[in-house]
Amino acid sequence: MSTANACLTIRGIDVDVIYKNIKNLHIGVYPPLGRVRVAAPHQLDDDQVRIAVIQRLPWIKEQREQLQSASRQSTREMVTGESHYVWGVRRRMKIVERPGRAHFELDGERLLLYVPAGTSAQRRRELLDQWYREQLRHAVPTLIAKWEPILEVSVSRWSIKRMKTKWGSCNRETGHIWFNVELAKKPPACLEYIVVHEMAHYLQRHHDDRFTKLMERSIPNWRSLRDQLNNAPLAEEQWQ
């Protein structure tokens, strides 16, 4: 019998388990990232939940694939007039072709990309990805420095990468935290929530009651920030 919530990893899939006063176990796969959540009766333990999830894996994988496919935008053409999100603000892109170093600049509500004439769309997409990473590299250290004394933890290593189903992850054994590059498109408060969430895993491995109380003390509105992230596509749709 279990009385605490848990976060299990089953065949490479993270599963949030919430134990409730219910009779039957329920498995849900939720947009936009295909997060798997299980509502389980108190009389079941983690092993019993794990078996139930394994039995439903084909269905779970099918649902996740559908959600992840639906959440992806069409390939960007990287031309003047496209919109791209920067820290939660939609900005119109303008391509400026000129000799010299390729780089991005913010100009009011516009996102300017300076590139040599003839630069391919793929190269422009690579430059945008690099620019988003630079935005995070400037923002994340300040947030980590803010929360290290509050949480009384020390972040030994962090990196940025593109992830298909997570906004962030923490390896407790190595102390390595990863942040999804897509966070540079979201409001700054969402990034801070993810930073605190992953740092909190230094103190508490699972998404159990202790973890929830820690998040409530740290960021009282963390649930609304979580929902804001999880109710939007991983990559915002393109506007023309």
The pair of structure tokens assigned to 171 is 């390896």
CA 235 to chain centre: 10
Using CA atoms, how far apart are residues 197 and 214, in angstroms rounded to an integer? 9
194 in Cβ contact with 176 (< 8 Å): no
The CATH architecture one would assign to domain 83-230 is 2-Layer Sandwich (3.30)
Q: Looking up tokens 């430059």, which residue turns up?
A: 127
Domain boundaries, the chain: 6-71, 83-230
pTM of the predicted protein model: 0.73
State the virtual CA torsion across 198, 203, 207, 212 in degrees, nearest 10.
-100
* CA-wise closest residue to 159 among 193, 126, 133: 133
**Predicted pLDDT of residue 118:** 92
Would you state the structure tokens that stand for residue 6, as one six-digit string?
């848990």
Residue-wise pLDDT tens digits, 152-211: 999 999 999 998 778 999 998 899 999 999 999 999 999 999 999 999 999 998 888 889
Give residue-wise pLDDT tens across range 5-45.
Answer: 778 888 888 898 988 889 899 999 887 678 898 999 999 98
Residue 9: predicted pLDDT: 86
* Confidence check: pLDDT of 237 > 60: no
